[in-house]
Chains A and B, each alone.
Chain A
Amino acid sequence: MKRRKIFWRRFFRVTVSGIVICSMLFLLERLLVPKYSVGTQDGAMIAEYYDDAPKHNLIIIGDSEMYENISPLVLWQNYGINCYIRGSAQQLIWQSCYLLEDTLRHETPEAVIINITSMQYAEPQKESYNRMTLEGMRWSTSKVKAIFASMTEEESFWEYVFPLLRYHSRWNDLTEDDFRLMFSEEPVSLNGYMMQVGVKPAENVPAGRPLADYAFSDVCYEYLDKITALCKEYGVELILMKSPSVYPYWYDEWDAQIKEYAEKNQIKYLNCVNNEEIGLNFQTDTFDGGLHLNVGGAEIYSNFLGRWLQSETGISDLRGDSELSHEWEQKAADYDAKKSEKYRELTDS
């Protein structure tokens, strides 16, 4: 009787203590993790995807050349394409691969566009970029695989599992926003598009430096093969794309390799570098000297992309879907409001 009493008393203590400690750790973690929506916003979009209804007929996966250059609203309004951009800063090809795998777990779009700029990187680059891509992913085998493929030498898997271990020292930098946004972050994108309104003409663009070796690494091809296989498995049309930009340089040798790969695997490849058909003016349509497009440039480019998708892939026009139309009406209003606000901020500054 006495032993049983002792057992239950211990059991109660351990349970209550465990609950208290876990609650404290949970609250501390929510407080200390960086709030991308008020900080480096480029890390916010991956997580925002899960809040949108999984009814997209086009998914775009890639780095800033995707999420700053393509306006999903234009694709919807002019072509009826319900698109989402799963973009993150300097997204690497294996991250794109696992983001695709993750996306296909939620929905099966008609087409997927992959930005192939990342084929130039055979190794993980920076922890901060990794974090911006991986932290927003929901836990799944894809996320685990993405983490292991992405970690730099100094990173630890456990710090992804328990972000508190990574951000423990942020207690010294906490702001009011960290408390305000503990449990819910404010959305920063429209279907993964991050709007930029400034103008910085492309001037004095440096010429491409000759490289010792132009061949993409086997590792990158391995992941590109996985992407191709995944799309085939799910019956999704894969499109490889190089977004329009004047810098960083996209070498002809790189272009030739992607062309060859696309032909071999019967995939469409759209290289938009120096493509006059698009109608971009890099004196007015870029906000950072030719690296990325501003909202004006993104709308022009999206119009081109929509036209190309309709003619080359026959992607469906979903404007007849009343539910989607209603959702996009709201999104259009948000888009316009944001655009006005950003222009106002630009004028004020």
Chain B
Amino acid sequence: MQFVSYSFLLFLAVVFVVYYLVPGRFQWMVLLAASYVFYLFAGPKYLIYIMATTLTTWLAARQIDNLKARQDLYLEENKKSLSREEKKLYKTATKKKQRLVMLGALLLNLGILAVVKYTNFAISNINAVINLAGGKPLGFVSLVLPLGISFYTFRALSYLIDVYRKTIPAEKNVFKFALFVSFFPQLIQGPISRFTQLESGLFSPHRLSWKRVSFGLQRILWGYMKKMVIADRIVIGLNTMTGDTATYAGAYVLVEVFFYAIQLYADFSGGLDMAIGAGQIFGVTLPENFERPFFSKSIKEYWNRWHITMGAWFTDYIFYPISVCKPMLNLSKWSRSHLGPVLGRRLSVYLSSFAVWLATGVWHGASWNFVFWGLSNYLVIMISQELEPLYRRFHQKFDVNGNLLYKIFQVARTFLLMGFLRMYDCFDSVLTTWRMVAGVPFGGNWNILWNGSLMQIGLTAADYVILGAGILLMFLVSMSQRSGSVREKIHAKPYAVRFVIWTALFMVVLLTGAYGIGYDASNFIYNQF
């Protein structure tokens, strides 16, 4: 069931009514049932995967907690008879058992994710080697990719690691944990929330709040605007260009950079708006995933504002553990003594960051394009970090700090740089991406930007007007968000003003949204008969 579907709206309405009709203590059960029904719509065969992840992580977390409880009991009962050394040995043994349980569940779930998501990618690479050797290639396997598997696996694993780290106690009720893993608004595209972030929202009773529900609906509507009016319209032109690299080269790639940046942001953040809005309707506050990323002045800042929950996950569960693991500490110690304090200190950061960006790339998709995309981000961030002292001196010398024009330059630079990196996502291979991006200055076709060629890529003048207005609206809302919640600002206005604003937005989505059969309904009826 897609967010942009009539069935989802109907489903949401039914769940909403049932949720607020049942007594508060049963509300979370309604959400659990709804989440599994939602998942069932994707296909019953997928249920086994999410149930397996839920059960294994819940059992592992409970076992970790039980081991701790058993240890505490044993130490309490024998506190007089055991020596300090014996207590320490017992604790170490318990910790080892806990680690084994945690690693077992971790490997099992990452294994499931790896098998369903990356088997064919691995086979295609093995086949490339076999082809070189003149052997018979392996056949691809047909595996189902369960809905939202990357998201729910990461959510479940974050919980498991947090229990292991004793940041949170294990949840005793398996059904409550199942709701955390499967909560339907965040199932498809996240955010990757943590147990502590959702616990109170999911399991506490909620009374119907007019303001909260209307805010949730407004957020959903805004998401629909981004997704249906902007993303699903601009993608028509984008697909035309990226689907024919021979025709659409040179300056067209610059247009693609801009189009894809807008499409990806409007699509992804629009989907998240819908998820967060749906959560809000039920009194569950999902974490924000975007914070006006296109206003970032550096790549590092950009990654702190784009897909925030994923970045935080990789930082907490990959970067820090690698940075402080025993081999890394030993390497750091060795490098400080052999390579000097500066390089020695940075080596662990370089290696941990490399692991993070490699994982980020692989997580985004099973192809070399994503691996290169992740590593390119790593390279740019590392270079920027190394050049930081140089930038600082430049800023001081030319006194550009706080200069508006310079800020605009930084924002534009970051936008373009990220835009070109994203091109890995648009073309079918790494080499094609390099060829297309390198060919921008040499295409000799800059006139396409004004000679009407952009009217031949599947978008009409009306489409450009709608896109222009939509993007401008998105920009103005982002600007306004800098000084606080836009919905709160609108809420403070008289009812008539609020009514006009939200009705106008609803009509814009309804009339200019790129949805329905073939999208160009009028052409279909009049031209095809």
Contact = CB atoms under 8 A, between A and B. Distances in A.
A34 B522 contact: yes
B491 to A, nearest CB: 14
Contacts of B6: 156, 158, 165
B383 interface: no
Interface residues of A, number: 33
Nearest to A129: B529
Given A127-B517, A166-B516, A172 B528 contact: no
A164 interface: yes
Contacts of A39: 525-526
B503 A131 contact: no
Interface in B501-529: 503, 506-507, 510-517, 519-522, 524-526, 528-529
Contact of B516 (A10, A159, A171, A173): A159
A172 B522 contact: yes
Given A128-B528, A168-B510, A17 B499 contact: yes
Nearest to B9: A158
B460 interface: yes
Contacts, number: 73
Contacts of B515: 165, 168
B511 A168 contact: yes
B299 to A, nearest CB: 39
Contact of B522 (A24, A155, A173): A173
Contacts of B510: 164-165, 168
B495 interface: yes
Contacts of A169: 511-512, 514, 516, 519-522
Interface string B447-475: 00000000000001010000000000000
Nearest to A174: B522
Interface in A1-52: 10, 13, 17, 20-21, 24, 28, 34, 39-40, 42
Nearest to B514: A169
Classify the secondary structure of A's interface with B: helix
Contacts of B524: 127-128
A154 interface: yes
Interface string A137-176: 0000000000000000011101100001111111111000
A89 B522 contact: no
Nearest to B461: A172
A331 interface: no
A55 interface: no
Nearest to B460: A172
A128 B525 contact: yes
Contacts of A34: 522, 525-526
A106 interface: no
A154 B512 CA distance: 20
Contacts of B525: 34, 39-40, 128, 131, 167
Interface string A48-92: 000000000000000000000000000000000000000001000
A40 B526 contact: yes
A224 B90 CA distance: 81
Nearest to A40: B529
A126 interface: yes
B529 A89 contact: yes
Given A40-B529, A128-B525, A168 B517 contact: no
Contacts of B210: 10
Interface in A168-187: 168-173
B61 to A, nearest CB: 42
Of A28, A164, A165, which is in contact with the most chain B CB atoms at under 10 Å from its CB?
A165
Nearest to B511: A168
Given A24-B507, A34-B522, A128-B524, A168 B529 contact: no
11 contacts: A34-B526, A40-B529, A42-B529, A89-B529, A156-B6, A159-B516, A169-B520, A169-B521, A169-B522, A172-B522, A173-B526
Interface of A: 10, 13, 17, 20-21, 24, 28, 34, 39-40, 42, 89, 126-129, 131-132, 154-156, 158-159, 164-173
Given A128-B529, A132-B529, 10 more contacts: A13-B495, A21-B503, A34-B526, A89-B529, A128-B525, A165-B510, A165-B515, A168-B510, A170-B522, A172-B462
